[in-house]
Homo-oligomer: A and B are copies of this chain.
Amino acid sequence: MDQKGRLAQRILDRYDDMPRGERRLADLLLEQPMAVVEHSAARLAERATVSKATTTRFFQRLGYPSFKAAQKAAREQGADPQPMEFGARMHRLAHHQMDLSQHLQSEVQNLVRSIEQQRSDDMSRAVRLLARAEKLWVVGFGDNYPLAHFARALLIKIRPDIRMIPIGGFSVPEEFASISASDAMLVFGLSRRTSALRNIVRSAGQAGARMVFVADYASQPPSPTESVVLRCRTVGASVFDSPTAAVSLMIYLCASLASHLGETSIERLRRIESIHSDWDDGRSSDW
């Protein structure tokens, strides 16, 4: 009935009733979607510490006639986006009534799964990387802009020199010119990635800046050395993708960063708080 989706989609669809070994493969492939085209089935098995037999069964369970078939499909769709998704969403919008509990379930799953899958050393690498940076660039275009904005609002509370890209209506290259090898960049690339984003990432890489990518499972960010990829599940119960898990992860990331920075950031938070109360930006309960 349903259109055969991308590999990641198929995995998520069946994730809940996969046995342990297959789940290991699932996790591996969600984390590294390219692995399926880059490695042999045997190598995948090895990396997931699972037998070759299990690997074969895994791809069969996903509905592929064979591993090769899955690999081929992935290779073809790899550069190509998922073509049918939009139509499917419209269909769902038109016919399904929105159901809060369904939404809740989906959201909680996004959260739980995203956080479950998070490698704690990735997280702490990200924190160290952001802490060490001289200037910190926060980048997000289109739908990712509010997310970037949100992250910046958190970051600016705990350390100085946080810059947004894009900003106002200013031309990006002019602003971006001042990036240096001692800087770090927090890049939001959920769902749609514009060429502007690609350009920036490339330039930042050339400038030698470290990067933290916030991505969904479907995408494959570049991974230069010393960059970190934080993946979020963004499945939406209806028309829209959900950045909820990404937001949540940012809160955790920033809290960790604050903790890592220690007294410096505490002092900064205090100062901000005191300025606020000077200005009487109320925390009172009435509006």
Give A residues with C-beta under 8 Å from B. Answer: 12, 15-20, 24, 27, 30-31, 33, 77-82, 86, 90, 93-94, 96-98, 100, 103-104, 107-108, 111-112, 115-116, 118, 120, 123, 142-143, 145-147, 149-150, 153-154, 157, 168, 189, 191-195, 197-198, 201, 213, 218-222, 236-240, 242-244, 247-248, 251-252, 254-256, 258-259, 262-263, 265-266, 269-270, 273, 276, 280-287
- Could you write out 30 A-B pairs with CB less than 8 Å apart? A16-B27, A30-B112, A77-B285, A80-B284, A81-B282, A81-B284, A90-B266, A94-B263, A103-B251, A104-B116, A107-B111, A108-B112, A143-B153, A145-B153, A146-B150, A146-B153, A149-B149, A150-B150, A150-B243, A157-B240, A168-B168, A189-B287, A193-B282, A193-B284, A193-B287, A219-B287, A238-B255, A239-B258, A240-B255, A242-B248
Taking a contact as CB atoms under 8 Å apart, the answer to whether B19 and A192 are in contact is: no
Q: Shortest CB–CB separation between residue A223 and chain B, in angstroms? A: 10
- In the bound assembly, the distance between CA atoms of A285 and B265 in angstroms comes to 37
